Amino acid sequence: MALLTPLGSLPYPQPADAANVPQHIQSLAEAVDGRTVLRFADAATRDAKVTSPVAGMLVWLSTPKQFWYHTGSAWAQLAPGPVHLANTTTGTTTSATYVETLTGSTGDPTAVTFTAPASGSVLVTVGARINSSAATAAYISANIRLSTTVTLAAADARAAISYGTNLCSATTQFQVTGLTVNSSYTATLAYKSAATTSTATFTNRFVTVTPVT
């Protein structure tokens, strides 16, 4: 009976084992196979090949050129990075409720797509140069969507706020938790004015989503 190495549990024969070199090499190769960095064309190919993944298994997907590992319950991207989008055009709104499209701007709605990490949590940062046509506030926040469903709506508590007619740079950051791991979400900038009688102006807008690992 083959013994196992103390760290990797790889099999090796004992002197008393039958001298079947091909069988011993096959046993070792099969044991090593799941411990190397496996390479697949995409997630569908991976899932078809690896039907019983275990925690710590590491794979490379040619599409979308990323390393993924298994947490013990799901595949997750290894060390996912932040995603960012900026819109340098200027736009305005008089809406007192959050809207995703500004008058006079291009490129709206301004949104980034991100994959929920293994933690199910991300940090969302939004900001812009903002001013109002009157002594009132202007707000920039973000809507978080899973497909077309808003899972976290833009809100004043999660908004960068500027008050008055002076053009000011404003930014804020908030954490989003409880995301479905590996699902694709969007974070879309949303804007409003404190009053319909004043015009809120936004320029150099941006949204950044950073995974919490």
Nearest to 114, CA basis, from 136, 81, 88: 81
* Lookup result for tokens 């994959």: 115
pLDDT at 80: 78
3-class DSSP assignment, residue 189: strand
Residue 180 to residue 160: CA distance in whole angstroms: 26
Q: What is the CATH number assigned to the segment(s) 83-211?
A: 2.60.120
Residue 74 to residue 54: CA distance in whole angstroms: 9
Q: How far is CA 71 from CA 55, 56, 68, 132, 176, in A?
A: 5, 6, 10, 48, 21
pLDDT tens track, the chain, 213 positions: 567 666 455 676 777 677 766 776 676 666 666 567 888 999 999 999 899 998 988 999 998 888 889 988 888 888 778 999 999 999 999 999 999 999 999 999 999 999 998 889 999 999 999 999 999 999 999 999 999 999 999 999 999 999 999 999 999 999 999 999 888 999 999 999 999 999 999 999 999 999 998
Q: How far is CA 167 from the centre of its chain?
A: 31
Task: Locate 203 and state its tokens.
Answer: 């320029």
> How many Cβ atoms are within 10 Å of 105's Cβ, its own excluded?
21
Task: Locate 144 and state its tokens.
Answer: 């978080």
In the chain, where are the structural domains located?
3-77, 83-211
pLDDT at 14: 73
Given a contact cutoff of 8 angstroms between Cβ atoms, the answer to whether 161 and 202 are in contact is no
Model pTM? 0.75
Given a contact cutoff of 8 angstroms between Cβ atoms, the answer to whether 105 and 89 are in contact is yes
